[in-house]
Amino acid sequence: FVLLVDYFPLNIYGERRSGFQNLKLPATEIILHICIWSLTVEEIRQFFFVNYKREYFSEIWNIIDILAIIIYVVAFITRFIVLESLFVTSKIFLGLDFIFWFVRTLHLFSAFEKLGPKLIMIFNTMKDLLFFVCFILIFLLAFSITSWSLITTDNQVSWYYGSDGSLINATVAGEGSGLWTWQILRNVTNYGVWKVFGQVDSIDGTDAYYVVAFVLAILFVAIANVLLLNVLVALFNVTIQKVEKQSHRIWRYQRFLLVVEYNNKPPLPPPFNTLYYLYSIIQYIVEKIQQSRQKHRHVAIERSANDSMALNEKNVREEFKISDAMQRESAIADDYWSYTLKHGKKDQIEVALQNIERRLHNLQEQIHNNNQNYDQQ
């Protein structure tokens, strides 16, 4: 894949791009686009299936993948627009994309015990290099801007003197406009950056501007090339020694991460991983259909069970109503008979009492009559 990425930017010739008829794109380019888009799909899958997004972005290889994909998308879009400026943009971005994909192959070295810790050394020393670049930029800009402004003064300002040595006139090139361009920024940077690596050009001027620029060049080379570079080498040595002490442990950890990463990836490599994704999507759809059918089946069973339960409840309610009515009728009947019996007994007692009273009254009359007869005798 990396060799294919390398081949494509170097082989864009005119309008004839393929030996096949009616094919505007060469077969190599088509294969390249398929491979990169399959890698893009894999990276999207990896991003959405990771548990913590911060963990995904903390991995340097994932950041390289994202940058490579973004650069490729820009190159891919500008590739099919027939404009010279966009063609140049596409060619530049394809070249930059090739750099990122080549650097990405370093990840394979993590599986080797001797090469794995070296990657940690490279990344850690790059951190030290960033601090060094910050320091060197301060000295570089200070020296380059000052020196370039001095040695180009004669090209910017013209002095005119008379025969007696008196100043007649002074003019500024372009009337003071157009003095700041991207070319000037490039010249200023180019003037100082190579002196960091010891490539010092001779300063031939003899006026005050060139003398000061010559002295500044000596100071800058002494600071940048001697002092700062030696400090950087010392920082590199310290970092390398720290990594060497834990090289075996670092390698085992890197190898574990590599095994976990490829264990979570599909079994087929790009671009064949799209077939695996297609199979996974079909399998997912089939499982969803089966789950939906089972759900409907369970719903139907639950509905029939609920209907039977509702019917049973209805029957129970009807039976309860009947039994309740019967109980009410029984209670009413009991109350009626108890009331009837109670009042019937009361009437019988009253009749008996009346009979007793009547008998007592008759008995009293007989006694009274007997007493009267006895008195008369």
Mind listing the pLDDT tens digit for each residue in 142-179? Answer: 888 888 888 877 666 666 666 666 666 666 665 555 56
pLDDT of residue 321: 53
CA atoms within a 13 Å half-sphere pointing along the CA-CB vector of 65:
21
- Any idea which of 66-70, 112-116, 197-201 has the lowest mean pLDDT? 197-201
pLDDT top residue among 369 and 134: 134
Question: Residue 337: in which H helix or E strand, if any?
Answer: helix 273-376
Cis peptide before 271 (omega within 30 of 0): yes
CA 120 – CA 239 distance, rounded (Å): 10
pLDDT of residue 15: 45
What letter represents residue 4's amino acid?
A: L
- DSSP single-letter state for residue 227: I
**In b/e form, how buried is each residue of 30-53, taking b as 16+ CB within 10 angstroms?**
eebbebbbbbbebbebbeeeeeee
pLDDT of residue 371: 61
pLDDT tens-digit readout, 58-72: 888 888 889 999 998
Do residues 193 and 141 lie in contact, with contact meaning Cβ atoms separated by under 8 Å? no
Check pLDDT > 60 for residue 337.
no
pLDDT of residue 162: 65
Confidence class for position 41, pLDDT limits 50, 70, 90: confident
Check pLDDT > 80 for residue 367.
no
Check pLDDT > 80 for residue 283.
yes
pLDDT of residue 298: 66
- For residue 277, how many other CB atoms are within 10 A of its CB? 15
Do residues 36 and 28 lie in contact, with contact meaning Cβ atoms separated by under 8 Å? no
Percent of the chain with pLDDT over 90: 1
pLDDT top residue among 50 and 7: 50
This prediction has a pTM of 0.61
Do residues 195 and 220 lie in contact, with contact meaning Cβ atoms separated by under 8 Å? yes
Do residues 93 and 78 lie in contact, with contact meaning Cβ atoms separated by under 8 Å? yes
pLDDT tens-digit readout, 15-38: 444 444 454 666 777 777 788 888
pLDDT of residue 299: 61
Percent of the chain with pLDDT over 70: 64
pLDDT top residue among 231 and 304: 231
Mean pLDDT on 254-268: 79
pLDDT top residue among 215 and 200: 215
